[in-house]
Amino acid sequence: MPTNVPQEHYVESQSIYKRQRTIVYMGKSEEGLSNESNLGNILGSVGAISQPIVWISLCFVATTCGGLPAGPFGLLGALEGLAYLSVVGLVIKRIFIRDKASGILETAENLSLLTLGASLLVLASLIAQQGCIPNAKPLLDYSNYVKVCNAEEVPGLFGG
């Protein structure tokens, strides 16, 4: 039997006059359900792994007004960018797609909401203390419109 054909699940009832068979559920096969579960587990795992990377980056942003250093061949910076994208993606999924997640995907979505709140607090803290916001020059240079924090002027993580 092909796996993409919905399976019918019946309830049979019998009365004095007739016997009837009623469809109570028509859904995907067990394999289709397990594939959706596997995708949710993968998305949740990636989201959960991304959270500490974003938290460390937020600590760097709060203390040095810049994210993580680029690292060898720019790999650390790329990992940081992908982690931010996964957090934003999970927040968007949570807000706009109303299906109920469970397990590690639900945990990753909840952590992503918490991380988004923390990043807004870090941004508000930078604006309140220094009157500037970090610049994302590779993506968008908005230094003509608002005051941008200059990472060279701010002491490093250990005061250097």
SS3 50: helix
- Residue 2 tokens read as 């092909």
DSSP state of 99: P
- What sign does the CA torsion over 48, 125, 145, 154 have? negative
φ, ψ (nearest 5 deg) of residue 12: -100, 135
Contacts of 131 (CB under 8 A, 6+ apart): 147
User: What digits encode the pLDDT tens for the residues 5-33?
Assistant: 566 655 566 666 666 666 555 555 444 44
CA 87 to chain centre: 3
pTM, to two decimals:
0.65
Between vectors from CA 152 to CA 53 and to CA 121, what angle results, nearest 5°?
45
pLDDT of residue 115: 94
- Residue 97 tokens read as 């797609």
- Residue 146 tokens read as 């608002």
CA dihedral 140, 86, 77, 74 (to 10 degrees): -100
User: What digits encode the pLDDT tens for the residues 91-136?
Assistant: 998 888 877 777 888 889 899 999 999 999 988 888 888 777 776 6
